[in-house]
Structure 1
Amino acid sequence: MKKKRYQNLDLTARPATFGDLLKWQKERFKKQKDMSFMIGQAPQKQQALLHTNQDKLTITWIGHSTFLIQLAGLTIVTDPVWANRMGVSKRLEEPGLSLDEIPPVDIILLSHSHYDHMDIPSLKKLKGIPAVLVPEGLGAKVRKLMKENRVYELPWWGQVRIGSVEFHFVPAQHWTKRTLTDTNTSHWGGWIIQRYMEPSTEALHIPKSIYFAGDSGYFQGFREIGERFSDITYALMPIGAYEPEWFMGTQHMTPEEAIQAFVDIGAEVFIPMHYGAFYLADDTTEEALGRLLTEWRHRELDDCHLQLLKHGETLSFVYSEKNCN
């Protein structure tokens, strides 16, 4: 039976050809990049809070696209990757917390099947027996890998509610591949993590939605996400692996495009990710961060809406608008 192949909303946004890949690799040999700049580790890590927390929202950056999020008593991990290497390249910095340092996990969110977002050893080593939420087309593979776990397979705009938290799978512009023959046989996307709010709490400054963008090029779908989910508090947005732009442009955003996507969805706080852990493209950690800050200032956006995390840093709060008035 022929496998279904998934597409982007923009049908012209397709994976680069093998010829394009060879051209890029030839260009890479001519570049000399300084990789010495590091994001660094959080000076104080809050493992004790993460192991006892039942009511606060916490967001902890492990590295790359891996976050540990706690909301409404659930511990959630996005795109778990604790791998020391990605292909032939060694990890640039250690994960912010080790697998032994994090609490048992209730929910795993996978944005797509690329190796830097879905690391099978990391999946299997997470504590607990978490439910796994995956894109359409990826369910069978994950069920084979994690036979004891509940696996929910969602299409774009699909949703599932676990406890008092709703998880919505939303579009992205990307692609998937793990073997020579499985290109785009599973989908890709981002996740809205949305707490169900009782009417009596709607007027309080409590985070209502977190947007985990996964991996994406810039596309008009960000506007639709913002229209459908008008209460996004925190946006976890990728800013790295964009150079050379002629090769990466349809699948990864530049920092400037990431800011535009943040504006499109109408979120309140931008938390950058997908930089500083792996050398996946030709941009460096310092370049990605520098371009982000330059564009942020050029647009005259308030710094209180930008939260730069160290590896292992935990944000812990009931939202209070951070004096942004």
Structure 2
Amino acid sequence: MSLRFKNLDGSGPHPLSNIFKWAVGDKLAGKRRKSPGTCVMRRVEPDPAVLASPPGPGEGARLTWLGHASWLVQLDGVSLLIDPVLRDSIPGFIRRNVPPGVPLGQLPPIAATLVSHNHFDHLDLPTVRQVGAPVVGGLGLTRYFQRTRLAVTELDWWGSTRVGPVTVHFVPAQHWSRRGLKDINETLWGGFVVEGSSARVYHSGDTAYFDGFHEIGRRFPGLDAALLPIGAYDPEWFMSKQHMNPEQAVRAYEDLKARHFLAMHWGTFKLTDEPLDEPPQRLDAEWKRRALPAEPLHVLAVGESLSVRQG
């Protein structure tokens, strides 16, 4: 199969035989770990009046976790959404375990929606259409918005665009893309570095652990926050090509040399076999095993905000 896009190491997605083995064969054979489809999640109700006033120039960035990989990132008077999936479910009959941190109707005016890739748990077209903001994403993404009036900016890896006073950089990730039967790796996947006057924030998108974290950290020194996925890793033989486990996420954080680690991509949708609440437990254990200082680690409640700024 000829693929339009590949990872930095030349790899593509699993062959269909591996997908069948994971989705059907191992399930029928009873080889997959069974765990509940729900768990108790901490959740806070953010103040809409606070969110309506983004930090201004020189005031750093406010990061609000909306659940899964969805974030409200506010800096320099601008509000951005990253990978917003704010409906009750995603295709495949996968319902939310916890409501979104900020409902659609309570979002502040959004300057741009950043989409890391086209998988349904990161690109929810009804959510993006209702938000109504211009879209920034990887090469090929425009095809999904041809029936809308939304402006789309496509970026290659290491490409950049401006959203008002803020610069958005699209950076590599170790993943893949697919939304239909015939579009495997036809659109580019990646992460984002959002750069303002007094804060620089990295959102990895979906990614496995890869050497690219070193290069992202080198090109963007002084990252104030790294928003990194810690869930959807079991079984390892299948998921490690596309997702990190908590231990790998800590390695990525150290490679990036970021000041703060913010956990994401856990607890919201039951996508894989580990218990929904296992990822932060393993993250905490790995953090302590490495004897890392406690202050930089943040496992936010859904709806909770953290402010960061250049030190």
Give the TM-score band, short-chain normalised.
Answer: over 0.9
C-alpha distance in 2 between matches for 1:117 and 1:255? 20
* Alignment map for 1:265-284 (pairs within 5 Å): 265-284=256-275
- The alpha-carbon distance between structure 1 residues 7 and 317, as it changes in their structure 2 partners (threshold 3 A), is closer
| 2:177 counterpart residue number | 176
State TM-score, norm by structure 2: 0.92
Residue 158 of structure 1 corresponds to 159
**Correspondence for 1:40 among 39, 42, 47:** 42
Provide the rounded CA distance (Å) in 2 between the counterparts of 1:36 and 1:124: 28
User: Do residues 108 (structure 1) and 110 (structure 2) align?
Assistant: no
Partner of residue 22, structure 1: 20
- Equivalent positions of 1:201-220 (< 5 A) are 206-207=198-199, 209-220=200-211
The number of equivalent residue pairs is 303
State whether structure 2 residue 93 is matched by structure 1 residue 77.
no
CA contact 2:225–2:308 (8 Å) conserved in 1: no
Residues 137 and 153 of structure 1 are in contact (CA less than 8 Å); yes or no, is this contact kept in structure 2? yes
| 1:146 counterpart residue number | 148
Deviation at 1:54, TM superposition (A): 4.8
Secondary structure at the counterpart of residue 285 of structure 1: coil
Q: Paired residue for 1:201?
A: none
Shift of 1:231: 1.5
Report if aligned partners of 1:40, 1:93 keep a CA contact under 8 Å in 2: no
The alpha-carbon distance between structure 1 residues 158 and 318, as it changes in their structure 2 partners (threshold 3 A), is: closer
3-state SS of 2:295 partner: helix
Residue 134 (structure 2) aligns with: 131
SS in 2 for 1:49: helix
- Corresponding residue number in structure 2 for 1:203: none
Aligned twin of 1:309? 300
Cα shift at 1:51:
1.3
Asked whether the equivalents of residues 61 and 314 of structure 1 are also in contact (C-alpha less than 8 Å), the reply is yes
- Deviation readout 1:276-318 (Å, 9 max, x if unpaired): 1101111122211111111111111111010111111122465
Indicate whether 1:119 and 2:110 are aligned.
no
1:161 is displaced (CA, Å) by 1.8
The amino acid of 2:102's aligned partner reads L
Q: Is the 8 A contact 2:39 2:97 kept in 1?
A: no
| Deviation of the 1:92 alpha carbon | 1.1
Higher mean alpha-carbon deviation, 302-311 vs 26-35, is at 26-35
The answer for unaligned runs of 5 or more in structure 1 is: 198-205
Q: Distance in 2 between matches of 1:131 and 1:284?
A: 36
Percent of aligned pairs sharing the same letter? 38
In structure 1, what is the Cα distance between the partners aligned to 2:265 and 2:138?
Answer: 19
Which whole-Å deviations, capped at 9, do the CAs of 1:109-143 have from their partners, x for residues lacking one? 010001100001101111xx42211101112333x
Q: Which residue of 2 aligns with 1:90?
A: 95
Q: Which residue of 1 aligns with 2:7?
A: 8
Question: How far did residue 36 of structure 1 move?
Answer: 4.5
TM-score by length of 1: 0.88
SS of aligned partner of 2:104: coil
The DSSP-based 3-state class of the residue aligned with 2:51 is helix
Note the residue ranges of structure 2 that are not aligned, 5 or more in a row. none
* Cα-Cα RMSD: 1.8
